[in-house]
């Protein structure tokens, strides 16, 4: 089956065909850099990174743009509050975002344009719209005339006539239509300002993406991504701008990821349930955040709570434990081993199932389910008991390469397995009010009791550890114990 993509524009899954054979032009709306991003902001960054990786797996050459909005009211307000230039704020939080992004282990984008580096392009774009009578100037402010674009509303499905004027926009009696939106506005005192044909000012929000897309990717792109909150008015306005300026299709596939809730509630600063991506990664781990998001379909509303987080910890533990076993078995230095035929056939079947899921609108939940099945199939071989068998070695190597290959596509399962499993245990120990030193001490006392053949004491210590939620793994020199999942 070829790749099928849900297109917000058509409200349906459609076959994916590129403008230029073998090449994908991909644009994802990036952050407004005035603060640390909350975990919901990272859903798009994680999903579309995986999308790019799968497209490359299908042999497409992807040109991926992820922008920074570095001029905005929120940035200006924060700069004024701190008594610094807006650029100080934006540059600070670009660095902070990139720190968080790098912690996630995601592949870098091809372009990370900043709005302030594209002001001449924005002015040129606005001028084109004015010349084509798609926009008009009043008192140094440039507005887009939505009445000049007959198909306005085609992305969101909204009919402007049915919307109450002023419900979603500020009423400005100077506008020809209440829903006309700003392309360029005069700067107030103390705000960043650039010279333009309409006087000193700065760009409106919507025009930024259109201008950067045109300059970097061209008049038309294959995929434009973002959260569902951007469908209207931001992406709707982008279409009006882009197609109004060029007369060409602005974007062929619009893709939007759903919101998340935190503990069954929409994240909101007013009720205090907002958690930044950094705070989440500090408390838990970047791998857990990626696994959470990719375990469900990107168009599914998801709720993040302790149960879901613990479920992800369990899932990741199973994957990394299997990788440890594969590493142990594959250390045999024999040559000429043959991969278990039935196992190889099983993984090839699962690979096809995984590809089918991914080609069905990037169904990562199906893909991860296939990887889980691969782990179960590997564990059923019980290769730990056959570590010096040359065929077991070949089979373990085959499995490890298989799981790491598809894990890499999702930016998962690339960590040192022993260190990562210890990290998971530390998270669970903290939740139980325990620490590793205490557990290690009890485990060592039990080991000494066993050496002295004091079986009663050894059994008592095992029971004590079990009551604490610690599961012993006798015979495993790398991970002698783990927290019960």
Tokens 């995984």 — which residue?
Answer: 354
Q: Give the lowest-confidence range in 115-124, 363-372, 390-399, 468-477.
A: 468-477
- The average pLDDT across 190-204 equals 96
Q: Which of 190, 203, 194, 201 is nearest to 83 (CA)?
A: 190
Task: Give the model confidence (pLDDT) of 246-260 as tens digits.
Answer: 999 999 999 999 999
Q: Residue 163 pLDDT > 80, yes or no?
A: no
Task: Give the model confidence (pLDDT) of 416-436 as tens digits.
Answer: 999 999 999 999 999 889 989
Classify 137 as helix, strand or coil.
strand
Q: Residue 202 pLDDT > 90, yes or no?
A: yes
**Alpha-carbon Rg for the chain in angstroms:** 27
Task: Give the model confidence (pLDDT) of 343-369 as tens digits.
Answer: 999 999 999 999 999 999 999 999 999
Task: Give the model confidence (pLDDT) of 39-77 as tens digits.
Answer: 999 999 999 999 999 999 999 999 999 999 999 999 999
Domains and CATH numbers, the chain: 4-257 (3.40.50.620), 306-417 (1.20.120.640), 432-483 (no CATH)
Q: Residue 239 pLDDT > 80, yes or no?
A: yes
- The average pLDDT across 312-322 equals 97
Q: What is the pLDDT of residue 477?
A: 63
Q: Which of 231, 409, 421, 218 is nearest to 319 (CA)?
A: 421
Q: What is the pLDDT of residue 24?
A: 98
Per-residue buried b or exposed e for 165-182, using 16+ beta carbons within 10 Å of the residue's own CB: eeeebeeeeebebbbbbb
Helical segments of 104-185, H only: 119-131
- The average pLDDT across 210-220 equals 98
pLDDT above 90: percentage of residues in the chain: 82
Whole-model pTM over 0.85: yes
Contact at 8 Å (CB) between 28 and 225? yes
Phi, psi angle pair for 338, to nearest 5°: -120, 135
- Asked if the bond preceding 233 is cis, omega within 30° of 0, the reply is yes
Contact at 8 Å (CB) between 89 and 79? yes
Band of the pLDDT at 166, cuts 50, 70, 90?
A: very low
Band of the pLDDT at 333, cuts 50, 70, 90?
A: low
Q: Which of 213, 248, 261 is nearest to 234 (CA)?
A: 213
Q: What is the pLDDT of residue 385?
A: 75
Q: Residue 15 pLDDT > 80, yes or no?
A: yes
Q: Which of 332, 318, 328 is nearest to 374 (CA)?
A: 318
- The average pLDDT across 105-119 equals 98
Q: Residue 271 pLDDT > 80, yes or no?
A: no
Q: Residue 194 pLDDT > 70, yes or no?
A: yes
- The average pLDDT across 367-377 equals 98
Q: What is the pLDDT of residue 479?
A: 80
Per-residue buried b or exposed e for 395-431, using 16+ beta carbons within 10 Å of the residue's own CB: bbbbbbebbeebbebbbbbebebeebbbbbbebbbee
Alpha carbon distances (Å) from 132 to 182, 212, 246: 16, 20, 10
Band of the pLDDT at 165, cuts 50, 70, 90?
A: very low
Q: Residue 101 pLDDT > 90, yes or no?
A: yes
Q: For the residues of 173-196, what is the DSSP string, one character each?
A: TTSSSTT-EEEEEEPPTTS--B--
Which helix or strand (DSSP H or E) is residue 89 part of?
A: helix 86-103
Q: Residue 3 pLDDT > 80, yes or no?
A: yes
d(CA 187, CA 452): 81
Give residues with Cβ within 8 angstroms of 273, minimum separation 6. 262, 263, 265, 267
């Amino acid at each position: 089956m070829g790749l099928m993509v849900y297109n917000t524009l058509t409200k349906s899954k459609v076959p994916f065909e590129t403008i230029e054979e073998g090449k994908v032009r991909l644009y994802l709306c990036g952050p407004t850099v005035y603060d640390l991003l909350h975990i919901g902001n990272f859903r798009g960054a994680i999903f579309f990174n995986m999308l790019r990786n799968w497209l490359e797996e299908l042999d497409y050459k992807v040109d991926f743009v992820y922008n920074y909005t570095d001029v905005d009211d929120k940035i200006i307000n924060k700069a004024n509050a701190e008594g610094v230039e807006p650029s100080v704020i934006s540059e600070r939080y670009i660095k902070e975002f990139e720190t968080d992004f790098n912690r996630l282990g995601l592949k870098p984008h091809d372009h990370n344009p900043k709005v302030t580096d594209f002001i001449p392009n924005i002015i040129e774009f606005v001028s084109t719209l004015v010349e084509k009578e798609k926009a008009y100037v009043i008192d140094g402010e440039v507005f887009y005339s939505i009445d000049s674009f007959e198909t306005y509303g085609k992305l969101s499905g909204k009919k402007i006539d049915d919307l109450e004027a002023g419900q979603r926009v500020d009423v400005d009696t100077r506008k020809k239509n209440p829903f006309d939106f700003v392309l360029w506005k005069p700067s107030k005192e103390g705000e960043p300002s650039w010279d333009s044909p309409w006087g000193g000012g700065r760009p409106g929000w919507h025009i930024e993406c259109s201008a950067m897309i045109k300059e970097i990717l061209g008049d038309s792109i294959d995929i434009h991504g973002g959260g569902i909150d951007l469908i209207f008015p931001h992406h709707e306005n982008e279409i009006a701008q882009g197609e109004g300026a060029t007369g060409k299709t602005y974007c062929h596939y619009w893709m939007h990821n759903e919101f998340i809730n935190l503990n069954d509630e929409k994240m909101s600063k007013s009720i205090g349930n907002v958690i930044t991506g950094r705070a989440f990664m500090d408390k838990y781990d970047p791998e857990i955040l990626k696994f959470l998001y990719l375990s469900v379909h990107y168009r599914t509303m998801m709720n993040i709570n302790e149960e879901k987080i613990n479920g992800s910890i369990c899932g990741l533990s199973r994957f990394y434990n299997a990788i440890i076993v594969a590493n142990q078995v594959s250390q045999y230095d024999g040559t000429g081993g043959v991969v278990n035929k039935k196992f190889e056939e099983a993984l090839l079947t699962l690979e096809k199932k995984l590809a089918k899921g991914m080609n069905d609108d990037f169904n990562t939940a199906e893909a991860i389910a296939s990887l889980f099945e691969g782990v179960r199939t590997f564990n059923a071989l019980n290769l730990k008991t056959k570590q010096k068998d040359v065929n077991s070695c070949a089979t373990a190597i085959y499995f490890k390469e298989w799981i790491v290959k598809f894990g890499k596509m999702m930016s998962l399962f690339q960590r040192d397995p022993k260190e990562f499993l210890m990290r998971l245990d530390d998270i669970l120990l903290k939740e139980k009010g325990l620490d590793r030193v205490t557990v290690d001490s009890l485990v060592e006392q039990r080991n000494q009791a066993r050496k002295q053949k004091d079986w009663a004491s050894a059994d008592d210590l095992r029971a004590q550890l079990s009551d604490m939620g610690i599961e012993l793994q006798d015979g495993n020199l790398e991970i002698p114990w783990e927290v019960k999942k």
